[in-house]
Structure 1
Amino acid sequence: MAQADIGGTLIEDGILDLLRQERTKALSAREWKFRIAGFGYAIKDVRGSQVVTKLPQGTELGVLPVQFG
């Protein structure tokens, strides 16, 4: 299982699995972002990378692997 890294913090496999499952269910990136917000996560763009954050604090969990793009 791939793990993303941002500043030494790894995204947990369970979170990546959830994001992957929801991405396959969504018809668009916009719908996917809406779906994962229901689970308490968000995606923000930082210097050309997509970073997973925890809502509502906005705590960065890590950079998404390329295959999510």
Structure 2
Amino acid sequence: MYPETKPAEDLTEIRSFLLSERDKSLSETEWRFRMRGYGYNLRRTERGMEIARLPQNAVLGTLEI
């Protein structure tokens, strides 16, 4: 139910977690809110959804949606 407590550094692992949580959410707003609770900031850009680690807001990569 909850991701492991260690921070995931592998982008494929993060991507699968984000997409599985997206399936559980009713809207993009709810999904982004839930991800902030897990320590990820999601920002929509022209290339897709930018993934950043909180609280530093360090960009990890982009999720093409």
TM-score class, shorter-chain normalisation, is 0.7 to 0.9
Residues 22-53 of structure 1, C-alpha deviations (whole Å, 9 max, x = no match)? 1000000000001111110011234x232100
Does structure 1 conserve the Cα–Cα contact (< 8 Å) formed by 2:11 and 2:61? no
- Number of equivalences: 55
Higher relative contact order (CA 8 A, sep 6+): 1
Unaligned runs of 5+ in 2: 1-9
Q: Residue 62 of structure 1 aligns to which amino acid in structure 2?
A: G
- Compute the RMSD of aligned alpha carbons: 1.4
Percent sequence identity over matched residues? 36
Normalised TM-score (structure 1): 0.71
- The runs of at least 4 aligned residues of structure 1 exceeding 6 Å deviation read none
TM-score by length of 2: 0.74
